[in-house]
Amino acid sequence: MKPLVLQGHERSITQIKYNREGDLLFSCSKDQKPNVWFSLNGERLGTFNGHQGAVWCIDVDWTTTKLMTGSGDMSTRLWNVERGTTIATIPCKSSVRTCNFSYSGNQAAYSTDKAMGHSCELFIIDVRNPDEGLATANAILRIPILQSKITSMLWGPLDETIITGHEDGQITVWDLRMGKEVNSVNDHTMVINDMQMSKDGTMFVSASKDTTAKLFDSESLMCLKTYKTERHVNSASISPIMDHVALGGGQDAMEVTTTSARAGKFDARFFYLIYEEEFARVKGHFGPINSLAFHPDGKSFATGGEDGFVRVQVFDSSYFDYSFD
C-alpha cells in the first residue's frame, strides 16, 4: 500500500474533501490557496487564488461545479470549480470557521467565529444562481449562536436541519424552518474538531479534543458508540462500504516533539464501527493529522497533516478480506 504524497501547500492542511464521484480531492490550508488534485495519481489540477488569510474550511457541491471556502480573512468565497475563478465573495465580521453545501446544492451554510466583539453566527444562503450579488444580498436565515462558538457543522437529512458542533463539546440540531434549536447533547467534554456523515446520512461521527470520537444517530443525537484513544482526535470518517471508522489526530502543533512520530502518535487509526475495537494503524505524517476522508468508493482514504502534505492511501486486498473474530 504505497501512498501518494500530494505536495503543494506551504503550510499545514486544515481540511480535505472528495467530490461526490471521488475523482477530485480538494484541500485547503493556512497558506491561503485551496488546491484541487486528481485523486487517482495525485496530480495537481489547479489552485484557487484570492484569499488573503488562512483557509479554514472547504466544500464542493454534488455536481462539482461550485466550491465554497471560508477563511481567516473574514470572507466566504464561492468558486467556479472548472475555471478556478471567484463567483462571489461574501464579507463577514469575523473569521469563517465552517462551510457546507446542502445535499441538494441549492443552499449553503457557513458560520463565523466569536471575535472582536461580534458573536458567533450561522448563515444560510441561496446558491442556486450565484453571482457577485451574493456579497450584498441578505442571508435566507441568520442564527446568532449565544453559547460557545461553532467549530464544525453538517447538514441534516433532507436539508431541513443543521447539526453544529461547538467549542465546549456540545452538539446541537437547528430546525431551519423555525430557525431555532430543537435538540442538543453534551456527550463530549472538549472542542469538537470535525463531524462527518455516514454514506446514508443516518449516523455521523464526531472527533473531539477530549481524545474520543463518537458515533451519533443523526435524527435523535443518541450516542451509539465511542472510540477511545490517548490523544486529541482532529478528524474522523466512516467508511462507505465497510463497518469501519478512521480517526486522525495527534497533540497540539505546539506540543509536538521529535519523538512523537516514532511513538506512533500521528498514525491514522482504524476502528470497528460496531465493536469499538482498534484493528489497524497507518503511519505517514510528521505531525498531527488535521483532516481525514474516505474515498466515496471506500477503496482508499486521504489524510491532511500539520506537515502540509496530503497523503492518499489505497487499501490492499487483505483489508477487504479481513473479518472480525
For residue 323, what is its C-alpha cell?
473479518
For residue 150, what is its C-alpha cell?
461553532
Topology at the third CATH level for domain 3-319: Methylamine Dehydrogenase; Chain H (2.130.10)
pLDDT given at position 118: 86
Cα 148 from chain centroid? Answer: 19
pLDDT at 255 over 90: no
pLDDT at 258 over 90: no
> Between 253 and 295, whose confidence is greater?
295
Rounded CA separation 261/64 (Å)? 36
Q: Please provide the DSSP assignment of 232-277 as one string.
A: -EEEEEE-SSSSEEEEEE-S-GGG--THHHHTTTT-EEEEETTT--
Sign of CA dihedral 225, 189, 177, 126: negative
Which residues neighbour 151 within 8 Å (Cβ) at sequence distance 6 or greater?
Answer: 97, 98, 165, 166, 167, 191, 192, 193
pLDDT at 293 over 90: yes
Mean pLDDT of the chain: 92
Q: Give mean pLDDT, residues 81-95.
A: 94
pLDDT given at position 79: 95
pLDDT at 259 over 70: no
Instruction: Read off the pLDDT of residues 109-140 as tens digits, 9 standing for 90 and up.
Output: 999 998 888 899 999 999 998 898 888 888 89
pLDDT at 172 over 80: yes
Q: Give mean pLDDT, residues 271-285.
A: 92
* Global pTM value: 0.94
Query: pLDDT above 70 covers what percent of the chain?
Result: 95
Going by pLDDT thresholds of 50, 70 and 90, the confidence category of residue 292 is: very high
Domain limits, the chain? 3-319
pLDDT given at position 261: 59
Q: Give mean pLDDT, residues 151-178.
A: 94
pLDDT at 221 over 70: yes
